[in-house]
DNA sequence: CTTGTCACCTGAGCGC
DNA sequence: TGCGCTCAGGTGACAA
């Protein structure tokens, strides 16, 4: 998916176009996303969008009638367009806002989701999420305590949304490199001092990516459909067969729980 | 309880 | 050109 920086970039991009506006209609062309788009979503028609928020990688459109939850999955994107512009092949859902704005969800792989929860109630998918990585509750003491006696690799651990939300494969790889930590080590074997480094770099790499407007990768596009981002300078992610920018030695590529991991066996201990 | 694997889906890239 | 294979930013559901 778009990772947290891409989701936050999207949220910031759509917010000024739809906040305070009335949802006039919801068109679902393809209801079969990760979960079927619930019919109750139509209850949002006529409601005013009070706020455009984000929790983890979910975008939340809050109204008095309930909240729309949008997840972009692996290949989703949201854009602001005009309702008259014909949808393309993978444009599955339109949220019509006012008379001339369409918030259009495109998602070729359909791993994304559009869900609904009644006003005031927390959707079950959000109830077990860990803290926001850029919030104060996410710190070294928290990670250290949470990880004691945990067997899984530290990379798997920080990608677990119940531990902390929003750390996807790119930024997990990058933060571990920046912190000098071998991604294969058991989460429970990482010291408090090492978690301090890791937390610092998770926050830094995410903040920097948000500042740059999200990493451009494949099908992530900004809310207006443009894609002219600065490519974030990736130190390890996707750099198979290349050398470490710090020491010059060849990077290592492995798989951990079905996900690609790149690291420098010399710089990361 | 924790941990690992599978599944969902389309499209791009590669070797033959 | 085309086929078959692998890979891709996520994450809930299930088995062990």
pLDDT digits (tens, 9 = 90+) for A81-121: 999 999 999 999 999 999 999 999 999 999 999 999 997 88
Domain boundaries A4-127, corresponding CATH code: 3.20.190.10
A110 touches strand B (CB under 7 A): yes
What value does the mean pLDDT take over residues A242-269? 96
User: So what's the pLDDT on residue A121?
Assistant: 86
Name beta bridge partners: A97.
Answer: A23, A101
pLDDT digits (tens, 9 = 90+) for A164-223: 999 999 999 999 999 999 999 999 999 999 999 999 999 999 998 888 876 544 455 565
Tell me where in chain A the CATH 3.20.190.10 domain(s) lie: 4-127
Q: How far apart are CA A225 and CA A251, in angstroms?
A: 34
Q: Which nucleotide is at minimal CA–C1' distance from A125?
A: C12
Per-residue CB contacts under 7 A with strand B, chain A residues 242-261: 257-258
Which residue's C-alpha is at the least distance from the C1' of C9?
A: A1
* Catalytic machinery residues of A: 2-3, 57, 259
Domain A140-263 in CATH 1.10.1200.10: no
Confidence category of residue A228, pLDDT binned at 50, 70, 90: very low
How far from each other are the two terminal CA atoms of chain A, in whole angstroms? 28
Tell me where in chain A the CATH 1.10.8.50 domain(s) lie: 140-263
Residues facing strand C, Cβ within 7 A: A 1-3, 6, 34, 56-57, 71, 73-75, 109, 111, 125, 159, 161, 168-170, 214-220, 258-260
A156 touches strand B (CB under 7 A): yes
């Amino acid at each position: 998916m778009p990772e947290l920086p891409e989701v936050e970039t999207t949220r910031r991009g759509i917010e000024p176009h739809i906040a305070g506006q009335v949802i006039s209609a919801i068109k679902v062309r393809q209801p079969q996303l990760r979960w079927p788009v619930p019919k109750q979503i139509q209850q949002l028609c006529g409601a005013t969008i009070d706020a455009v928020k984000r929790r983890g990688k979910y975008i939340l459109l809050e109204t008095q009638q309930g909240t729309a939850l949008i997840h972009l999955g692996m290949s989703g994107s949201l854009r602001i367009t005009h309702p008259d512009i014909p949808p393309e092949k993978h444009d599955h859902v339109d949220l019509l806002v006012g008379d001339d704005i369409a918030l259009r969800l495109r998602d070729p792989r359909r791993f994304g989701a559009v869900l609904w929860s009644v006003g005031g109630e927390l959707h079950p998918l959000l109830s077990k999420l860990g803290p926001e990585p850029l919030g104060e509750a996410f710190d070294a003491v928290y990670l250290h305590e949470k990880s004691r006696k945990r067997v899984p690799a530290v990379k798997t651990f920080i990608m677990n949304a119940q531990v902390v939300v929003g750390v996807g494969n790119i930024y997990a790889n990058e933060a571990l490199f920046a912190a000098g930590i071998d991604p294969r080590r058991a989460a429970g074997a990482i010291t408090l001092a090492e978690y301090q480094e890791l937390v610092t770099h998770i926050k830094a790499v995410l903040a920097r990516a948000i500042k740059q407007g999200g990493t451009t990768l494949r099908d992530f596009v900004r809310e207006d459909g443009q894609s002219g981002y600065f490519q974030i300078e990736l130190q390890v992610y996707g750099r198979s067969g290349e050398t470490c920018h710090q020491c010059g030695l060849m990077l290592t590529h492995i798989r951990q729980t079905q996900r690609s991991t790149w690291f420098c066996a010399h710089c990361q201990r």
